[in-house]
Structure 1
Amino acid sequence: MKALVTGGAGFIGANLAITLERKGAKVIVLDDFSSGDYRNLVGFKSDVVAESIKEVDLKRFKDVDAIFHQAAITDTTVRDQKLMMQVNVEGFRRILEFAVRLGIPFIYASSAGTYGNISGPQKEEMAGHPVNIYGFSKWICDNIAKEYMQKTDSLIIGLRYFNVFGPREAHKGKMASMIWQLANQMKARQRPRIFKWGEQKRDQVYVKDVVHANLLALKAKRNGIVNIGSGQATTFNKIIRVLNKVLGTKLEPEYIDNPYVGFYQDHTQADLTLAQQIINYSPQWEFEEAVKDYMKEVGFVEN
């Protein structure tokens, strides 16, 4: 198989590109390196095209067998609405139109940000209440995808990612997962800092499950947009308990005020019923085992 992975120097894109290559696929990474990092692709043996999804000549990808569209501005603190919409929506529309025109299977990254502050478990039909421009851009992409699904037989699958964590996210800085940020604090023997009182719940899904979902999507029974998460809601207090166990530390959390009241998701939890029906997805990693695997991969604990 020959696959195109847009955003392939980013966190999820790089994990996906490298996994595809290890499985024998010929992979082309498309990334403008505005937020991705070359270090994520160290060891990658296939091709990299360093251009923007808004401008690249798509005809050069006319012979690919699948497109995995991960490219986007993912920093939810970006306030430039025009930039966010041009990259996330118009870039998406351009590549989707190309894929449909040539009948190329199109698997793309949506987001749980489309749900906004609706309490979990979140079902796909509950989306449409974003609280920031990032979530709004992803919601519009979903709406565009739905229109195309109604008028084409070409495969289109949207994967609504929840809170993804795992190797190759370090370059994201403040946008990296709470698991990564708290692990770094605790590795430095600092008390982990979380918002009062640590009982906010998030669906934390390991990146290896997300990659698996992308591969399953190629065999989807029908087109659709589905949740990709762990199906469990994990409190920040539990994250710290698990990290203490895995890292061999005994650090108590430091609780701080939440400056994002009204714009903060207190409870995310993916309802996976539709994902199981359409792409046969079920998470393979339990949270503590995923954290152990992650900390081994980044060298925080010995194998």
Structure 2
Amino acid sequence: MEVHSRKIIFITGITGFTGKHLEEYYSKRGFGVYGTTFTEPSSSNHFKCDILEEEELFKILNKVKPEYIIHLAAISFVAAKDQKNIYNVNIFGTLSLLNAVTKLDYLPTKILIASSAAVYGNIEGELGEELCPQPVNHYGNSKLVMENMVKGYYDRLNIIIVRPFNYTGTGQENHFLIPKIVSHYKENKKEIELGNINVYREFNDVHYVVKCYTELLFSKFKSDIFNVCSGNAININYILSVMNQLAGYAIKVNVNPKFVRKNEIDILKGNPRKLFAHIGDFTNEFTFNNTLEHMYNENRI
């Protein structure tokens, strides 16, 4: 395997939802893109690796010698049953990566680490980085602990931490809300079980997130935390109305109490002021209606 010494990007969790979109984006732009996967690799640029294995990671990184690293590998589903594994992977997997990087004989230009807006918890309104995080589940708490541990590497490595708010797109698994809704319409189902459909949440396009990550990755900024958000909250009812139009029929919504979170707040969105001040505002390049349309038309006969 030929590995070039420049313009190499390394992505942990490269076969996940976001990883696939990042790999496609950078590959089209001439970068050498490599990464880790927990399953058997289908590409010569992918390495099967448990990110908890520091020495294994070091050997891969030492071979690839990436200039940029994007750390995505995590337990990302809030309802994951193995709670100990959430903390193990999300915290110690990240530390394993950073420890492996510190053993390299060079300093990567930038490391972007994906945290989550889940660190904020159930705080009403528009959430900015200055707020004190109050996570309400194991996933959010694991990400907050991870952030605090990563700050200890600021003096040795060039790191940016991102807190993405909800985003979606083609290839996201159906246990997430938007793919679940779209899949019901694609399968022409007449009914769907949902939780509270009157809430407002951000649902950005994964391509918007890719662009934000890219701008931050290649920026001069380091040792900082950024919300990756648009500040645009969308009502679930609106999503259903758009899908009704796309599919040509109205689905029946059954509210399942199991899906309604206790003390659920009406509006939750990110404050993008800091993000926009540093990389600009390009939200007008992406519309949620187009996102839904692409997801609905993907692989349809």
TM-score range, shorter chain: 0.7 to 0.9
Question: Residue 229 of structure 1: CA displacement?
Answer: 2.2
Question: Residue 246 of structure 1: CA displacement?
Answer: 2.2
Q: Give the structure 1 partner of residue 77 of structure 2.
A: 75
Q: Between the two proteins, what is the percent identity of the paired residues?
A: 25
Question: Residue 262 of structure 1: CA displacement?
Answer: 2.7
**TM-score, scaled to structure 2:** 0.86
Q: Which moved more, 1:154-163 or 1:105-114?
A: 154-163
Question: Residue 167 of structure 1: CA displacement?
Answer: 1.2
Are the structure 2 counterparts of residues 52 and 266 from structure 1 closer, same or farther at C-alpha, using a change threshold of 3 Å?
Answer: farther
8 Å Cα contact 2:61-2:101 kept in structure 1: no
8 Å Cα contact 1:114-1:127 kept in structure 2: no
What is the rounded CA distance, in whole Å, between the counterparts of 1:96 and 1:281 in structure 2? 31
Q: Which moved more, 1:120-129 or 1:6-15?
A: 120-129
Which string of whole-angstrom CA distances, capped at 9 and with x for unpartnered residues, describes residues 162-216 of structure 1? 112111113xx42x2x2210112223232333224x2111110111111111211
Q: Give the structure 1 partner of residue 3 of structure 2.
A: none
**Residues 1:14 and 2:20 aligned together:** yes
**Residues 1:246 and 2:246 aligned together:** yes
Please list every run of 5 or more consecutive structure 2 residues that lacks an aligned counterpart in the other structure: 1-6
- 3-state DSSP of counterpart to 2:230: coil
Q: Give the structure 2 partner of residue 5 of structure 1.
A: 11
What is the rounded CA distance, in whole Å, between the counterparts of 1:93 and 1:266 in structure 2? 36
**Residues 1:159 and 2:162 aligned together:** yes
Give the paired residue count: 285
What is the rounded CA distance, in whole Å, between the counterparts of 2:113 and 2:141 in structure 1? 16
What is the rounded CA distance, in whole Å, between the counterparts of 1:159 and 1:295 in structure 2? 29
Q: Give the structure 2 partner of residue 190 of structure 1.
A: 190
Question: Residue 79 of structure 1: CA displacement?
Answer: 4.1
**TM-score, scaled to structure 1:** 0.85
What is the rounded CA distance, in whole Å, between the counterparts of 2:282 and 2:217 in structure 1? 15
8 Å Cα contact 1:7-1:71 kept in structure 2: yes
Which string of whole-angstrom CA distances, capped at 9 and with x for unpartnered residues, describes residues 234-255 of structure 1? 1111110111122222334333
- 3-state DSSP of counterpart to 1:125: coil
8 Å Cα contact 1:182-1:193 kept in structure 2: no
8 Å Cα contact 1:192-1:240 kept in structure 2: no
Which string of whole-angstrom CA distances, capped at 9 and with x for unpartnered residues, describes residues 10-33 of structure 1? 111111112111111111120113
8 Å Cα contact 2:192-2:251 kept in structure 1: yes
